Amino acid sequence: MRETLHMAQFLASRWKEAPFEHFRDGVEICRLIQGEPELALLRYAPGASVPQHRHTGLETILILEGSQSDENGHYGPGSLVANPEGTVHSVSSAEGCVVLIQWTKPVEIL
């Protein structure tokens, strides 16, 4: 995306029109800002998961729709989750979800 991103308008509805591509099994990505930090939307299919991984930088997630879970809890729409550098977890979404995610450095799959 190569335009100024106005978050209030974007989060209200425009994200539903965003183009997604394959990211990993059951998870699609729409890259909004590439580089470091990176900003993207992730769309999890029902039952999708991301294996255990370590954060090499800060990751911040805002749940837009549906819910996801990790070893620390279950998060629904409006939940804001910050995973600091060095933290380890795995993520799953029983019902499917869409999240706005920003990370400062790539994760390390364990």
> In this structure, are residues 61 and 80 in contact, taking their beta carbons and an 8 Å threshold?
yes
Tell whether 19 is covered by a domain: no
CATH number of the domain enclosing 95: 2.60.120.10
| Series of mean pLDDT values for 10-residue runs along the chain (110 residues) | 64 78 95 87 97 95 95 95 95 96 91
Q: pTM value? A: 0.88
Q: Which helix (H) or strand (E) holds 90?
A: strand 88-93
pLDDT tens per residue across span 40-65: 999 999 999 999 999 999 999 999 99
Identify whether 1 is part of a domain: no
pLDDT of residue 2: 54
18 part of a folded domain = no
Whether residue 82 lies inside any domain: the answer is yes
**What range does the domain containing 65 cover?**
7-13+25-109
**Does the residue 94 lie in any domain?**
yes
Give CA–CA dist 65/87, Å, rounded. Answer: 24
In-domain check, residue 76: yes
| Pairing of β 73-75 and β 97-103 | unpaired
Count of structural domains within the chain: 1
